């Protein structure tokens, strides 16, 4: 028997974006229904950001024990219990789960239905035996690991981010196809936990980042024992559990015990029956306008499924954009120019706005690039974390991008995201007083590097100072 209900807002998908919409909307008085056919919290909590950073933390702890002599502390073996590290991962997920739980959202007043939904008309979605008619619908179904059609792969066991964190036995030799952020983060985590690791990348590893900064990360991983094979497209995969072989197009063969596919993501739209609602898609996801509306104006798409930048914080940002539109009928558009991203290797790699190459293409001779090295920061020296630098792309006194590689780069990039979001000037960054000694001083010193030649190398400034000293009593 089919039940019919009505709602102001129907949210499809209980990942980070969908949960943000549901929580915000219901607390501001909207009648909200939330559908989730799999796990509350979505990919980020269960398979992505949270478990990966927990495993990275285990790797850091093991590495720190083996390199403690630089601090005057006796070196320990740093031997890792891979199964216990996965227990740590599971415990971290369990501690965060209540925040994303069905019980919490029902407590807020959201009607939660644990079924997948599909459109049956332009404003109706069926989930199990329930049909929901909603004034506004939000698709927040996220993305899944992309598994490319490599010959032989269908006959060989492999991991993705959705299965890796359930693996209890340490891989002897982990092969990773894909040299993007996920591949490189998991490569370093596993080599630090005692696995041999080979990364196979068809183009350039960390290819979306500034190559000057990416090279520091890649060399660090190589120094730690990760083999990184670039411009190497996988032509065939063969073997069996414990004995897997990846054949490269040029004939080379790389053998290992386990295989992780980390070549990208595909948007989750297959179950939605979008045609029934008049919703168009592109190669990258659901087609949306600047306000994140689909071709059906009652329906919004946010997060990964909207086909843009695939980050949890982007989904949360999208939620704020559409809440303004749905609840208050106010114009609201999404932008990407102020969105940061971080690769959580050690050292971290962070970016917001334009890279140097992008800024030069757009702004040409108007661009100034200022830099500051970690090895000039006193706190970095004290912590033995002097590898890395920041560079800021500046046009007419305003930052248009920042790139950071080094210790806590993911924390440092937040200030530049704030600056870009609010069209701030370098003078405003320079006016900030940072506590001493902190890694955060690097940001202020970068702003200082912009003004230094204007102050200390200016003949006019020196002439004015000279006149003041001579004639002002």
Q: Which residues are part of a known binding site for NAD(+)?
A: 178-185, 201, 264
Distance of CA 462 to the CA centre of its chain: 47
The answer to whether 8 and 135 have CB atoms below 8 angstroms apart is yes
User: Within 10 A of 297 (CB to CB), how many other CB atoms are there?
Assistant: 12
The DSSP annotation for 142-159 comes to -EEE-----TTGGGS--B
Annotated binding site for FAD: 53, 117, 141-143, 304
Q: Are strands 124-127 and 130-139 parallel, antiparallel or unpaired?
A: antiparallel
- Please report where in the chains the tokens 């990942």 appear, as a residue: 15
Long-range contacts, 428-434 (Cβ 8 Å, 24+) = 429/399
Length of the chain counted residue by residue: 473
Q: Phi/psi at 446 (nearest 5 deg)? A: -65, -40
CA distance 440 to 429: 12
Binding-site residues from annotation: 53, 117, 141-143, 178-185, 201, 264, 304
Contacts of 353 (CB under 8 A, 6+ apart): 337, 338, 393, 399, 400, 401, 402, 416, 420
With contact defined as beta carbons under 8 Å apart, do 187 and 200 qualify?
no
Q: Which helix (H) or strand (E) holds 211?
A: helix 211-224
H-helix segments, 373-440: 378-382, 409-421, 426-431
Tokens of 74: 């006796």
The angle at the Cα of 94, spanning 93 to 97, to the nearest 5 degrees, equals 80
Alpha helical stretches, state H, 97-178: 102-108
Rounded Cα distance between 228 and 221, Å, is 8
Tokens of 212: 């000057």
For residues 248 and 254, is the Cβ–Cβ distance under 8 A? yes
CA separation (Å) from 414 to 170, 181, 252, 408, 410?
35, 19, 42, 11, 7
- Contact (Cβ atoms closer than 8 angstroms) between residue 401 and residue 391: no
Cβ–Cβ < 8 Å for 40, 52: no
């Amino acid at each position: 028997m089919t039940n019919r209900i009505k709602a102001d807002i129907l949210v499809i998908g209980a990942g980070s974006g969908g949960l943000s919409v549901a929580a915000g909307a219901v607390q501001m008085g909207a009648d909200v229904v939330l559908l989730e056919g799999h796990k509350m919290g979505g990919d980020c909590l269960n398979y992505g950001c949270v478990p990966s950073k927990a495993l990275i933390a285990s790797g850091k702890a093991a590495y720190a024990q083996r390199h403690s002599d630089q601090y005057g502390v006796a070196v320990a073996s740093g031997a890792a219990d891979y199964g216990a590290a996965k227990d740590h991962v599971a415990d971290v997920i369990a501690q965060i789960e209540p925040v994303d739980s069905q019980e919490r959202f029902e407590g807020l007043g959201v009607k939660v239905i644990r079924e997948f939904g599909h459109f049956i008309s332009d404003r109706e979605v069926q989930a199990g035996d329930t049909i929901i008619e909603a004034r506004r619908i939000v698709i927040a179904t996220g993305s899944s690991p992309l598994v490319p059609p490599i010959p032989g792969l269908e006959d060989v066991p492999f991991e993705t981010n959705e299965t890796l964190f359930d693996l209890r036995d340490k891989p002897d030799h982990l092969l990773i196809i894909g040299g993007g952020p996920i591949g490189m983060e998991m490569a370093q985590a596993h080599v630090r936990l005692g696995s041999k690791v080979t990364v196979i990348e068809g183009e350039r590893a960390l290819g979306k980042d500034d190559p000057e900064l990416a090279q520091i990360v890649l060399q660090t991983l190589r120094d730690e024992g990760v083999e990184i094979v670039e411009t190497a497209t996988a032509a065939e995969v063969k073997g069996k559990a414990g004995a897997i072989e990846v054949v490269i197009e040029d004939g080379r063969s790389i053998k290992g015990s386990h295989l992780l596919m980390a070549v990208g993501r595909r948007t989750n739209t297959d179950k939605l029956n979008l045609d029934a609602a008049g919703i168009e898609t592109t190669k990258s996801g659901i087609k949306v306008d600047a306000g994140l509306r689909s071709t059906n104006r009652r329906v919004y798409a946010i997060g990964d499924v909207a086909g843009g930048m695939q980050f949890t914080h982007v989904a949360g940002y999208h939620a704020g954009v559409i809440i303004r539109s749905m609840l208050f009928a106010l114009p609201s558009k999404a932008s990407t120019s102020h969105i940061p991203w971080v690769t959580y290797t050690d050292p971290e790699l962070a970016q917001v706005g334009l890279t140097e190459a992008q800024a030069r293409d757009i702004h040409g001779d108007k661009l100034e690039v200022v830099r500051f090295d970690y090895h000039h920061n006193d706190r970095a020296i004290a912590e033995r974390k002097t590898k890395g630098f920041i560079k800021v792309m500046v046009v007419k006194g305003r930052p248009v991008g920042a790139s950071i590689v080094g210790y806590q780069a993911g924390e440092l990039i937040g200030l530049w995201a704030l600056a870009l979001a609010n069209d701030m000037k370098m003078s405003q960054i320079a006016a900030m007083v940072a506590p001493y000694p902190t890694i955060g001083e690097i940001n202020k010193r970068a702003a200082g590097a912009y003004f230094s030649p204007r102050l200390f190398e200016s003949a006019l400034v020196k002439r004015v100072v000279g006149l003041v000293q001579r004639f002002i009593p």
